[in-house]
Amino acid sequence: MLDITLDGGGTKLNAILFDEQFRVVRRARASGVNHTQNGREAAAANVTGCLDALLPDGTTEIGDIYAVFVGDEQILRECLRARVRFRHLYMLEEAYAGLLAGAGYRTGLLALSGTGSDMFNIHAGKRGFVGGLGPILGDQGSGAWMGLQAIRAVGRDVNGWGEKTSLTDVILKKYSENDRIFDVVWAFHDSGTPYAMAASLVPLITEAAYAGDAVALEIFRSAGDVLARQMIALLNRDPVWEHDVVTLCGGAWKSHPMMKRAFENTLHTVYPQLTVNRPWFEHVIAGMMEKALSHGYSREEVRAILQKNCTEECLDERNRKYECD
């Protein structure tokens, strides 16, 4: 019987239908499902659309569903029940799933930076964390935070009291026909999903950073630094952990190597023994990893199987690119 693994957050929903040999049968993708950022109706519509694209016509029953869902779980449950019968729904907590997909661990240290951000220490049945305050009061070092830093830098440049940056031209052109900063302001406030909009600017910041823009590079350096300071605070408060490895998780880490470099530099001023590793796989693979580990496979055995079967989600080649940049 076929199973589903899915990963939904503020920016996107990814889902995979897979068989008993952990082979991908079908993939589907939709926009964000976090109701606080996307609204309940849009979140439900995105879940339903993703399921319709994922399940072959006539499919009325599947096996297990493994879900990472940063939003209202009731939305997911209602959409699933309306579309298909299933055996079990396993809700995977975001940090736990990040360790599974990122390193094949069920415990350890995780630095999450996607649309939002959090630091986690999972060990001995306990879950310590720093962050989780949301985009208004927290999420420092996240994709949304970096997008806001870019918009603020453009505002300073336009008003003549900030450093010149190539981000000004690209962001003004994206949101204004007349290159007016207030068009950007109104687009941000009127979008309905302002923090998802801010996070969507990360590719533009990345492009500017690779072109040598000092402001863009500083955004990534600042993001890595502030995330490391949060991890240091977590470890100072909870100085017991498993594995001397910090696993990175979330799309923001895939933007520019300056971010990881700054994270390591700051972290190693206090905890030089820790290694910082990019993830093995995209977050959506967590369900497949959980099922395989539960069936007695070792983490290295699962990694080899999924490297072969899930090439689109395997981050090895992309990680090597980032390490060489």
Question: What's the pLDDT tens digit per position in 197-215?
Answer: 899 999 999 999 999 999 9
Model pLDDT, residue 89? 95
Residue 169 in tokens: 């031209």
Which residues in the chain land under pLDDT 50?
321-322, 324-325
C-alpha distance across the termini of the chain, in Å:
43
Place of tokens 């661990």: 105
* Bridge pairing between strands 108-113 and 275-277: unpaired
**Domains along the sequence of the chain with CATH:** 3-101+282-324 (3.30.420.40), 105-279 (3.30.420.40)
Model pLDDT, residue 252? 92
Model pLDDT, residue 179? 77
Nearest to 227 by CA among 148, 130, 136, 153: 130
Model pLDDT, residue 325? 46
pTM of the model: 0.85
